Amino acid sequence: MNTVIWFAQLYIAVLAGFVGYQMIARVPPLLHTPLMAATNAIDAITVVGAMVLAGRGHGWLATVLGTIAVASAMSNVVGGFLITDRMLAMFRRDSGAAAAAKAAASNGRGMH
């Protein structure tokens, strides 16, 4: 590989990392859940691309790197969905007995 091309690719990778960090660091806390959902969609596209790379048969290195990419992206997708579900659970209403117990306690008529 040509040295100029290698340095150009390294420059693009470093610049993309810097821009990505700056964008994420400046997101207000209110927008973290929608951003996580968008990130999960992007990671799902990454999983598909990594599966194509791993299954293409371009040699053992491509297969190993594709498999690592699939595992990394899938762990990110699963973790993102778990965190999003946990954050959305904070906004759900209580159900049944728990709500009745809270209402009774707030009225001063605790369960004696």
- Residue 103 is predicted with a pLDDT of 62
Cα three-residue angle 35-40-41, rounded to 5 degrees: 100
Of 82, 78, 84, which Cα lies nearest the Cα of 32?
84
Which pTM value belongs to this model? 0.51
What is the per-residue pLDDT across 29-88, written as a single tens digit (0 to 9) for each? 777 667 777 777 777 888 888 888 788 878 888 888 888 888 888 888 888 788 778 877
Letter string b/e over residues 14-41, b meaning 16 or more CB atoms within 10 A of that residue's CB? eeeeeeeeeeeeeeeeeeeeeeeeebbe
